[in-house]
A = this chain, B = another copy of it.
């Protein structure tokens, strides 16, 4: 009968430090849940002599082999981040028969298949709850709690930085650049904010969620991505006036057209549960054939919330170890479904444009939309910008391809001075 579960920790940054903190502070509860204590034996760091504000009774090392070749170590916990050499460390650990828990969305989104194959071959666990939406339980709910369902849709606010920025823009009327500067000052956005504001961070996470939700591998390259850099205060004001909120959504749908996975800003109705997800909070809304609509809400980043998911995964692996039940749930991508090209996706659209202020213009524009089967649900015209009239339209459901054709035609019309914004409307059921 084994007496402890032994961990090798890779990385001692914000998340690593929080993992140590939880394993120490909640040690009694955790050992009751597992049946035996869970201890960290070794920690791999870049610098041995760095001053760390935490007491931990473990050996520090700078070499991966010290950890992978240690026969005492059961679980390798990867919270060092990055792609290289992290991905290789994970695969080596799995090949060596170690269970692996990671918070690394980049590696999972890009190399999920190779990693799962290695885990399957070694009959070990590979858990990654922390890789999407920080502390919010979402991987295990999809793989287990909602396993009875055919999932048709996952729609999430899964990037805290952009949600903080959009909330701030909406509440305080500030423009994109001011809120970005503030988010950077607060440490919510990085010096190079591209991964967040460009939508790429959300794209990695939705690739992971879509793979699990639909049982079919979706990689980062399958995700259509638009960021929030073009969202203006005018769009936010119009959204409010029309009963909407603008959010950066990560969307995955599975229907007869194929799997449709994308990240882009979208208008969502103010009464939708996702509309009241503010600041750095994340939420994931899921539709299943049996359960209907569910939503999971919480902190999508930060040391302690992320470590909450990491340590809960550790407890799960430890429970598997004590019951000889490892590799109980591995890869759940049982099929490879086809994808729906973004051109074929459908939604209503919000369009803001500047037009000449003279009779017949609205009729000409409505006609051009009509020629591409785009019907208009609502029109606002009330503001002058220099010598132009500003026109705001919301269309009925239309394919992206038809919408783009209509926009092309319209942008070539002599009475159209500028197409300022084209933004999808989601979670709206216009007949």
Given A33-B147, A141-B141, A148-B307, answer yes or no on A294-B290 (Cβ-Cβ < 8 Å). Answer: no
Chain B residues near A218 (CB-CB < 8 A)? none
Give the residue name and chain of the B residue nearest to A302 (CB): B292
Cα separation A25 to B290 with both chains bound (whole Å): 10
Q: 1/0 contact trace for A313-325 toward B, CB 8 Å?
A: 0111001100111
Check if A129 is an interface residue, CB within 8 A of chain B. Answer: yes
* Residues B305 and A298 in contact, CB atoms below 8 Å apart: no
Q: Which of B150, B308, B328 meets A148, CB within 8 Å?
A: B308
A267 to chain B, nearest CB (A): 18
A interface residues, how many (CB within 8 angstroms):
58
A256 to chain B, nearest CB (A): 16
* Residues A273 and B297 in contact, CB atoms below 8 Å apart: yes
Cα separation A136 to B291 with both chains bound (whole Å): 8
Check if A137 is an interface residue, CB within 8 A of chain B. Answer: yes
Given A144-B315, A148-B30, answer yes or no on A298-B294 (Cβ-Cβ < 8 Å). Answer: yes
Chain B residues near A25 (CB-CB < 8 A)? 150, 289
* Residues B294 and A148 in contact, CB atoms below 8 Å apart: no
Check if A329 is an interface residue, CB within 8 A of chain B. Answer: yes
* Residues B26 and A149 in contact, CB atoms below 8 Å apart: yes
A9 to chain B, nearest CB (A): 14
A248 to chain B, nearest CB (A): 19
- In the assembled complex, 22 residue pairs joining A and B whose CB atoms fall closer than 8 Å, in A order, are A18-B290, A29-B150, A29-B215, A30-B148, A32-B215, A33-B332, A135-B288, A136-B291, A140-B145, A148-B307, A148-B314, A149-B312, A289-B304, A290-B305, A290-B311, A291-B308, A292-B305, A294-B299, A295-B296, A296-B297, A320-B328, A323-B327
